[in-house]
Amino acid sequence: MPIDPRTSTRNVSLTSDQLRALIASHPKGCALQQAFYSDPSIYELDMERIFMRRWLCVGHESRIPKSGDFFVHEIAGESLIIIRGADDEVRALVNVCRHRGSEVCYEKEGNAKVLVCPYHAWAYELDGSLRAARQMNEKIDKSKFGLARIHLRVLEGLIFVCFADDPPKFDDAEKTVRASLGHYDWSNAKVAHRGVYSVDANWKLAVENYFECYHCGPAHPEFSRHHSTDKYSTPEAKALREGARVRAKEMGIEIPEVAHWPWPVAPGEESANSFHDAAYPGSVTGSEDGQRVAPLMGDFTDYDGGFSYVDVGPASSYLAYPDYGVIYLFIPRGVQKTDMEIIWLVDKDAKEGVDYELDRLIWMWDVTSIADKKIIDHNQKGVSSRFYRPGPYSPMEAMPMDMTEWYLEQIAPGSDD
């Protein structure tokens, strides 16, 4: 039957009743309907119901090694100052002056002994407390005008923040990350490179793409040459994973398989996921030729022929090889604009030009991310067509299908009760 373009939901703003009806009409086992990728009111719900309530990774603490080091991270329309204090504690301060609301930090990163608002020179200590309010009444109660601060956790070097007054419990996520990434010793890693790949698409299309390898064969031949992920359920891939597990165990390394994403292990917990996958014979890491690109990390005394996928919360994922790591951050910038920030990690003592060559280190996930941008951009263009209708997920798209069901639960009217 021909599709009637008059029934398109693109670029509309939905009422609660319309949203409820749209969710009720969602075809089970299929991709989301068009409005979820294009409607401004739904995008705002995404920000409020998901990004303002869940734990979000903002980077690696090696980016701010010294007291006063900071970087600014923008997410969900908010600006945060991630800063290391005089007491060595890392904090997340809201980048909004308590005088008349100007941003305090204009620079994206730097080092400061005191945070001074450029507008009227109100000054704040590194912990966000008000130090001086220039030419104000001396009776001003400084204790009431410190910079707002949100929840922050550092786990294996990863910095997580949450805007919610009562954030999800982090116990299961912490257990999962320590049992997986702990073996790679990311707490003693450093950032070797950061890249931002901006896609002209809704954030959900970017995340869905990451969580399935149905597209790996057609879109990522470079990745598929060395990683068995797109053959995950085949006997060959299962045998390779078992071989990697055995070799890792010989080094005292056991990485558990955890499937608590997108639904957490229990209500009120943050979601977490991990599993150990395998490379094809002859490949030991994610590089152009499959060969080592940096010194071994953590507990690895040799290559096991495997690598680990780890996910925490709705918008951050991690890929760990024995010799380097990759942090994937999905950062919504608008209804159909998303930044994929990719961060490469190496051992903290590794020296560029001596222990690793940057071009070789970043090659795999640079070429993969460039290809991802292309396919995600075209996905959004197709989804925006009057003729778009949701198609069924394949068996290899189980995680995007689960994400869709979880997502609809989060934004349903009444879910904020």
pLDDT tens-digit readout, 71-107: 999 999 999 999 999 999 999 999 999 999 999 999 9
Burial degree of 204 (CB within 10 A; 0-12, 13-18, 19+): buried
Percent of the chain whose pLDDT exceeds 90: 93
| pLDDT score at 151 | 98
Q: Among candidates 159, 153, 66, which has minimal Cα distance to 113?
A: 66
Cis before residue 65, ω within 30 degrees of 0? no
pLDDT, tens only, 210-263:
999 999 999 999 999 999 999 999 999 999 999 999 999 999 999 999 999 999
Cis before residue 390, ω within 30 degrees of 0? no
How many angstroms separate the CA atoms of 120 and 30, rounded? 53
Banded model confidence at residue 60, pLDDT cuts 50, 70, 90: very high
pLDDT, tens only, 303-333:
999 999 999 999 999 999 999 999 999 999 9
How many angstroms separate the CA atoms of 154 and 156, rounded? 7
pLDDT, tens only, 367-380:
999 999 999 999 99
Banded model confidence at residue 12, pLDDT cuts 50, 70, 90: low
Q: What is the DSSP letter of 296?
A: -
Q: Is the pLDDT of residue 52 over 60?
A: yes
96 CA to centre of own chain: 24
Banded model confidence at residue 3, pLDDT cuts 50, 70, 90: very low
| pLDDT score at 384 | 97
How many angstroms separate the CA atoms of 214 and 394, rounded? 8
pLDDT, tens only, 97-144:
999 999 999 999 999 999 999 999 999 999 999 999 998 877 789 999
How many angstroms separate the CA atoms of 48 and 40, rounded? 13
**Runs of H (alpha helix) within 252-319:** none
Contact predicate 168/55, CB 8 Å = yes
How many angstroms separate the CA atoms of 121 and 97, rounded? 10
Q: Residue 16 is which amino acid?
A: S
Q: What is the CATH number of domain 56-152?
A: 2.102.10.10
In CATH, which superfamily holds the domain spanning 169-410?
A: Naphthalene 1,2-dioxygenase Alpha Subunit; Chain A, domain 1 (3.90.380.10)
- Dihedral of CA atoms 72, 335, 37, 331 in degrees, nearest 10, equals -10
The pTM for the full model equals 0.95
* Residue 12 φ then ψ, to 5°: -110, 160
Contact predicate 33/56, CB 8 Å = no
Q: Is the pLDDT of residue 9 over 50?
A: no
Q: Is the pLDDT of residue 8 over 80?
A: no
Burial degree of 139 (CB within 10 A; 0-12, 13-18, 19+): exposed
Domain ranges of the chain: 56-152, 169-410
Contact predicate 16/10, CB 8 Å = no
Domains 56-152 and 169-410 share a fold: no
pLDDT, tens only, 159-172:
999 999 999 999 99
**Number of residues that this document lists for the chain:** 417
